[in-house]
Structure 1
Amino acid sequence: MRKPACAALLVMMSVLVSPFSHAGQAWEQYKARFFMPDGRIVDTGNGNVSHTEGQGFAMLMAVASDDKATFDKLWQWTDSTLKNKDNGLFYWRYNPVEANPVADKNNASDGDVLIAWALLKADARWHDKRYSTASDSITKALIAHNVIRYAGYRVMLPGVQGFNLNSEVVLNPSYFVFPAWQAFADRSHLQVWRELIQDGQRLLGKMGSGKANLPTDWVSLEAGGKLVPAKAWAPRMSYDAIRVPLYIAWFDKQSPLLTPWRTWFGQFSREQTPAWVNVTTNEYAPYMMEGGLLAVRDLTMGQASGEPEITTKDDYYSASLKMLVWLAEQ
């Protein structure tokens, strides 16, 4: 009678043990490079500023690593330093060398989403309702301030200010964090999250541009429903849009939305895949993908990369993508 009981215990233990239990070294490497004692993550490729995106990324990593002490420092710094008490969202950028480190009062909706998602995961892992209560407040604020209906779609604007231009709205497809939206739908049972998922997928299916047939970093949705590369940015699939296949694969590894990405990546050898493509001119980056960009390529192509190694060559963004791919693979 003891053997089945032991087997059941082993199965239960394997479920409870973090997917990062074997990747503790990568998380420690990441923290050593980018985590400050006050609880903020520094963007080493961008003057050591901090963003809500980075706070959210690291909060997800900390939950997966069962590192409650670090999670709490990340969350406490984010909540006390970046919280906009007027709308319940977060100032997107913190620059420690400015007299007012949060001079720009706008939010970045993907950062807010990532933070709220990490808080939900934190309650599930550590059984503290304060985390999920905080998550609910953020998601409620996102619906109130960032989610609109436009041109027949339910969309999440990239920020409260500056993206609804009446005759068009500007979207960032890398802000469509499908697995997080699904978690919010499962928790709240609100139809708005399911509509965001369905319409986000519909939009992505129509966003491909040029020979590459890929979405650009920033996309304009016109009042009539037409989708074109946003005018204020270079028409490139670049460092933002690379997160699109990451979040698609994280949500559904069998999604047909991955097909154009696989087609584009597949025409190059792994080490000779350009870092970006201009969809208007078909010009490629003169340098190749490496680090975290290659990790996303591997995930998209179904080539599991296993435990990441965070090297001195990896800046904050490259290291973050590596870690997120590892999370998505779980």
Structure 2
Amino acid sequence: MRKPACAALAVMMTMIFSPFSQAGQAWESYKARFLMPDGRVVDTGNGNVSHTEGQGFAMLMAVASDDKTAFDKLWHWTDSTLKNKSNGLFYWRYNPVLPDPIPDKNNASDGDALIAWALLKADARWHDARYSQASDAITKSLVARTVIRYAGYRVMLPGAQGFNLNSEVILNPSYFIFPAWQAFADRSHLQVWRELIQDGHKVLGKMGTGTANLPTDWMSLAAGGKLTPANAWPPRMSYDAIRIPLYIHWSSPQSPSLTPWRSWFGQFSREKTPAWVNVTTNEYAPYMMEGGLLAVRDLTMGQASGEPDITAKDDYYSASLKMLVWLADQ
């Protein structure tokens, strides 16, 4: 009986880990293109700056690829270079060509959440409690610095500074990283994470604007509860908002919150889906989705196609979306 039992165990372990340990050529291509030897991820579409978002993306990919060497480089650079010791979060942007590479001392809550989530996954894979302890410290700071109750909702602000304007708060719904929030809820058992998930879906359900019935990249939540596109940004569903269906699907592929996205994508043929839409004027982008944007569309429509091909045409963001779609689809 031993051999069948061992075989069954081997099959079970393969089912658990293989989607997150066989990243193969896609991860190697991503590393070669965007990961510097010191552990910094470069945004090739944006002057080779770095963001906490990109560090978190790559940390998730490294865990998924069972690449502890790369993960530790990523985490060490992030922790030693971007950590704001005064509040336990991370400076959101690093520009290596400036005299002060970090002129803006604010954080970005999505980057912080991605880093913390990747650290939890790292402990689960490599059994090093230091990772999860670091994650716990970040999530504690996130709750203390960026989570508020406003207009009847529990919401996470995009950063610790500058987004609570008293008469309104500015939200970025692509920062609602539902699978990360669920992981934090499962670990901490704190009600705040479950409230963020529940209210995040409620808020998203009321963000649909215009004929497209979609949120914009940046939204305003007024004290009275009204949700409108935020004034300081174009009223577009664009390069930020495309991550909304990615994170919804990653958390719950059958979520009703995906319905408006499927309706929007479904009215266009795959190759003729506009890259953005102005929800106020219903103006479409003069160019179509491709690369990572198209990968998110495919995931949302149930048409994801396995390991991505990271091509020379893909900049950092396109390649990142392709990789994240692959992880979300496992």
TM-score by length of 2: 0.99
The Cα of 1:253 is off from its aligned counterpart by 0.3
Distance in 2 of aligned mates of 1:237 and 1:184: 28
The Cα of 1:3 is off from its aligned counterpart by 4.6
What's 2:174 paired with?
Answer: 174
Pairs within 5 Å for 1:1-330: 1-15=1-15, 17-330=17-330
Q: What secondary structure, in the 3-state scheme, does the structure 1 residue paired with 2:48 have?
A: coil
Q: Which one is further off, 12-21 or 82-91? A: 12-21
Distance in 1 of aligned mates of 2:58 and 2:22: 17
- 1:91–1:107 Cα contact (<8 Å) kept: yes
Amino acid aligned to 2:177:
V
The Cα of 1:19 is off from its aligned counterpart by 1.2
The alignment yields a C-alpha RMSD, in angstroms, of 0.9
- 1:34–1:316 Cα contact (<8 Å) kept: yes
Provide Cα deviations, 1:2-27, integer angstroms capped at 9, x if missing partner. 45224323223314534144431000
Amino acid aligned to 2:280:
T
Q: What secondary structure, in the 3-state scheme, does the structure 1 residue paired with 2:310 have?
A: coil
Amino acid aligned to 1:168:
E
Q: Which one is further off, 219-228 or 5-14? A: 5-14
- 1:18–1:65 Cα contact (<8 Å) kept: no
TM-score by length of 1: 0.99
- 2:20–2:63 Cα contact (<8 Å) kept: no
Q: Which one is further off, 19-28 or 291-300? A: 19-28
Distance in 2 of aligned mates of 1:62 and 1:156: 26
- 1:54–1:111 Cα contact (<8 Å) kept: yes
Amino acid aligned to 1:219:
M
Q: Does the C-alpha gap of structure 1 residues 141 and 293 become closer, same or farther in structure 2, counting only changes over 3 Å?
A: same
Q: What secondary structure, in the 3-state scheme, does the structure 1 residue paired with 2:19 have?
A: coil
Distance in 2 of aligned mates of 1:263 and 1:162: 34
Distance in 2 of aligned mates of 1:114 and 1:27: 18
Amino acid aligned to 1:242:
I
Q: What secondary structure, in the 3-state scheme, does the structure 2 residue paired with 1:284 have?
A: coil
Distance in 2 of aligned mates of 1:22 and 1:142: 32
Distance in 1 of aligned mates of 2:274 and 2:304: 20
The Cα of 1:242 is off from its aligned counterpart by 0.1
Distance in 2 of aligned mates of 1:142 and 1:110: 10
- 2:207–2:227 Cα contact (<8 Å) kept: yes
The Cα of 1:305 is off from its aligned counterpart by 1.6
Amino acid aligned to 2:230:
A
Give the ranges of 4+ consecutive aligned residues of structure 1 lying more than 4 Å apart after TM superposition.
none
- 1:23–1:308 Cα contact (<8 Å) kept: no
Amino acid aligned to 2:288:
M
Distance in 2 of aligned mates of 1:268 and 1:252: 24
Distance in 2 of aligned mates of 1:73 and 1:22: 20
**Structure 2: segments with no counterpart, 5+ residues:** none
Amino acid aligned to 2:118:
A
- 1:18–1:66 Cα contact (<8 Å) kept: no
Distance in 2 of aligned mates of 1:152 and 1:10: 49
- 2:23–2:64 Cα contact (<8 Å) kept: no
Provide Cα deviations, 1:100-153, integer angstroms capped at 9, x if missing partner. 001100000000000000000000000000000000000000010000010000
Q: What secondary structure, in the 3-state scheme, does the structure 2 residue paired with 1:19 have?
A: helix
Distance in 2 of aligned mates of 1:155 and 1:251: 18
- 2:217–2:236 Cα contact (<8 Å) kept: yes
Q: What secondary structure, in the 3-state scheme, does the structure 1 residue paired with 2:322 have?
A: helix
Distance in 2 of aligned mates of 1:51 and 1:292: 18
